[in-house]
Amino acid sequence: MTTTTLPLPATHTRRTGFREALAHEWIKFRSVRSTVWTTAATAVLPVVGAVFIAASGSLQPDDTVLGGSLTLTVVAQMLAAVVGALVASGEYSSGTIRTTFAAGPRRGTVLAAKATLVAGVMYILALASCTAAYLVGDAMLPEGRYAQGEPLPALFGIAASFAVAAVLGLAVGFLVRHSAGAVTTVIGLLLLPSLFGPLFGDAERWVAGLSPTAALEKLTQTSDAAAEAVGSLGPWPSLLLVAACTTALTLGALVLLRRRDA
């Protein structure tokens, strides 16, 4: 008598890969109200700020159209970081992280999918929103009264700073694993380098430039982006420094993610 062994269904033999993990993360992302509403606020805020600045006439004489129109991008960038923090910490708070790791045992793949998702979403939204804010500000502000600024390639760097902030928030979310604590921590990481940078003497240019906020202010060419306020590094070196630090923190989060229980 011979027996025939039937092959297991594909769902039992195929491991969840990056593409499947990314699809799962997208479904979860658009299903959670907190992340959806915070993402929407991130996209809307720069345009609202541009309208307010132009309508109120509060732009400083030494500022640029680009810098004035993107005044509220600093707050929007903080919201982008909060979105990243919620994407990670929200699953720990709700307990769904166990289901996520059960469906995708490769924790590095899960982290990579989440990072790709938040970075991609924030980059696209920030690029569209900040471009719209600049165009609105340019149309509403008196012609010839303010320097124009250089929107290109600055707008691409501005969008990249949003993506970096979102990944930074994600890394903090995995490290802290509590929504309120993660949000507080990531906002502190955005603000504290600029506040405490001058206390480090010659190292101020590096310390103050560690925050995505510093890179953002340099890229928007705002009059507030003085060397003593946000570090003396240029906009693109500052962005690269922030991206490198965020990458290091994300790798540290991955190491702990693999060692910790869900």
**CA atoms of 197 and 168, how far apart (whole Å):** 19
Tokens of 105: 């045992």
The pLDDT, as a whole number, for residue 232 is 65
Q: Which of 226, 229, 225, 209 is nearest to 217 (CA)?
A: 225
The pLDDT, as a whole number, for residue 225 is 64
Report yes or no on whether pTM surpasses 0.75.
yes
Average pLDDT along the chain, 262 residues, taken 10 residues at a time: 44 66 92 94 96 87 88 95 95 84 85 96 97 95 85 95 97 93 93 77 74 87 63 81 94 90 65
**Taking the CA atoms of the chain, what radius of gyration do you get in angstroms?**
21
Rounded to 5 degrees, what angle do the CA atoms 246, 249, 254 make? 125
Question: Is the Cβ–Cβ distance between 194 and 216 less than 8 Å?
Answer: no
- Domain map (residue ranges) of the chain: 17-259
The pLDDT, as a whole number, for residue 86 is 95
The pLDDT, as a whole number, for residue 1 is 41
The pLDDT, as a whole number, for residue 210 is 80
